[in-house]
C-alpha cells in the first residue's frame, strides 16, 4: 500500500492470514469464476477458496436450498468436507446474507468476517426493483436474459463495462429453479437479530453507487456489528471488485493483514 509519504509499503501477512483459508461466497446469479482475478492477485500470499453455491456457477446441476439458512448449512458442510476448522469468510450480496448465517451458527470457527455489497435484510429495501418484480421478470424472460438485465445494474457503466459479459455469462449458468427459489429465500430472510452475536473482527465493503443494497442497509451492518470497519469504494456499484479491482484488493489485504 502507499503511505502518506508516497512510499509503497509491502505488508507481510500475519501468521493467521497466511495459514487460514479465505473462503469466498458469491451472491445471486454469481459463481466462483467471478473471483478469478482476485484469486490470482492474492494467491501468492493467501490460501483462497471460492465456492459455487448449489444451483449456481459450476454447481448449477445441484439442487439449491429453499432458504438462506439452508445455504448456510451447505457452506458449513463444505467447510467440514474440506477439513477447514477455522477461516476468514467473505460473502458478497446474497452470499453476505449466507455468511451472516454461517457466522451466527459457528462463530468460533471464523477468525474474521467480510460482508461485501450486502445487508441484514433480504428484502433489500430501495433495491433497483422489488424482488417480486425480479421474480416475475425471471419467469417471463428466463435465466439468461435475466442475468444480463440484472448484471447491468451491478456496474456503473452497465453493459459498456468490460466485465459485463463475464458477469452476465456466469449468471446465465444458474439453474432456473435455483434462481427462482433463491429470490424467495432472500425475500423471507432477516438477519438483524443475529448481528449482536457476530463478535469477530468484521469488514463491511460497499460501492457508493450500489443499486441493490442502499446505504441504510450498509450503515445498519456497520453500526450493529461490535467490531466492524467500513470501506466505501467511490464510483462503484454492486460489483466493485470488478470495477475497482486494485482498490478492492488493497482494502481486503489491509483487513487480512492488519
Residue partners of 242: CB distance under 8 A and separation at least 6: 34, 37, 154, 155, 161, 163, 166, 167
Residue partners of 95: CB distance under 8 A and separation at least 6: 24, 25, 26, 27, 30, 53, 118
12 exposed, middle or buried (CB, 10 Å; 0-12, 13-18, 19+)? exposed
CA distance 119 to 136: 23
pLDDT at 18: 57
pLDDT at 258: 84
CB hemisphere CA count around 109 (13 angstroms): 20
35, three cell numbers:
473471483
CA distance 54 to 75: 10
Residue numbers in the chain where pLDDT is lower than 50: 1-15
CATH fold, domain 15-257, is Rossmann fold (3.40.50)
Residues 179-210: tens digit of each pLDDT: 999 999 999 999 999 999 999 999 999 999 99
Torsions phi, psi for 81 (to 5 deg): -60, -35
192 with 219: CB under 8 angstroms? no
Angle at 167 between CA 161 and CA 170, to 5 degrees: 160
CA distance 90 to 111: 11
Measure CA of the first residue to CA of the last residue in the chain; give whole Å.
12
Packing angle, helices 143-151 and 164-172, rounded to 10: 150
**Helix, strand, or coil (residue 50):** strand
How are strands ordered across the β-sheet holding 110-116? 48-51, 22-25, 87-92, 110-116, 202-207, 228-233
CA distance 60 to 161: 26
Residue partners of 66: CB distance under 8 A and separation at least 6: 181, 184, 185
Selection from 169, 232, 184 nearest residue 206 by Cα: 232
Model's pTM, two decimal places? 0.93
Residues 49-66: tens digit of each pLDDT: 999 999 999 999 999 999
If you ran DSSP here, which 8-state letter would residue 129 be given? S
CA distance 213 to 206: 8
Amino acid at each position: 500500500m502507499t503511505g502518506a509519504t508516497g512510499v509503497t509499503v509491502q505488508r507481510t501477512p500475519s501468521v493467521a492470514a497466511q495459514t487460514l483459508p479465505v473462503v469466498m461466497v458469491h451472491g445471486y446469479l454469481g459463481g466462483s469464476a467471478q473471483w478469478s482475478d482476485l484469486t490470482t492477485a492474492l494467491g501468492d500470499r493467501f490460501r483462497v477458496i471460492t465456492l459455487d453455491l448449489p444451483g449456481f456457477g459450476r454447481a448449477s446441476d445441484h439442487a439449491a436450498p429453499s432458504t438462506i439458512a439452508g445455504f448456510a448449512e451447505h457452506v458449513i458442510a463444505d467447510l467440514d468436507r474440506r477439513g477447514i476448522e477455522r477461516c476468514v469468510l467473505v460473502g458478497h450480496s446474497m452470499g453476505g446474507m449466507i455468511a451472516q448465517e454461517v457466522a451466527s451458527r459457528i462463530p468460533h470457527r471464523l477468525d474474521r468476517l467480510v460482508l461485501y455489497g450486502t445487508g441484514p435484510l433480504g428484502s433489500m429495501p430501495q433495491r433497483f426493483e422489488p424482488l417480486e418484480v425480479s421474480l416475475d421478470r425471471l419467469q417471463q424472460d428466463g435465466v439468461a436474459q435475466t442475468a444480463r438485465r440484472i448484471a447491468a445494474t451491478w456496474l456503473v457503466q452497465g453493459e459498456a463495462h468490460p466485465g459485463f459479459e463475464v458477469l452476465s455469462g456466469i449468471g446465465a449458468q444458474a439453474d432456473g429453479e435455483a434462481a427462482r427459489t433463491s429470490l424467495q429465500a432472500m425475500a423471507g430472510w432477516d438477519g438483524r437479530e443475529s448481528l449482536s452475536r457476530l463478535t469477530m473482527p468484521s469488514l463491511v465493503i460497499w460501492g457508493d453507487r450500489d443499486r441493490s443494497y442502499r446505504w441504510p442497509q450498509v450503515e445498519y451492518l456497520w453500526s450493529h456489528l461490535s467490531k466492524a470497519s467500513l470501506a466505501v469504494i467511490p464510483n462503484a456499484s454492486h460489483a466493485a471488485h470488478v470495477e475497482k479491482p486494485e482498490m478492492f484488493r488493497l482494502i481486503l489485504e489491509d483487513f487480512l493483514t492488519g
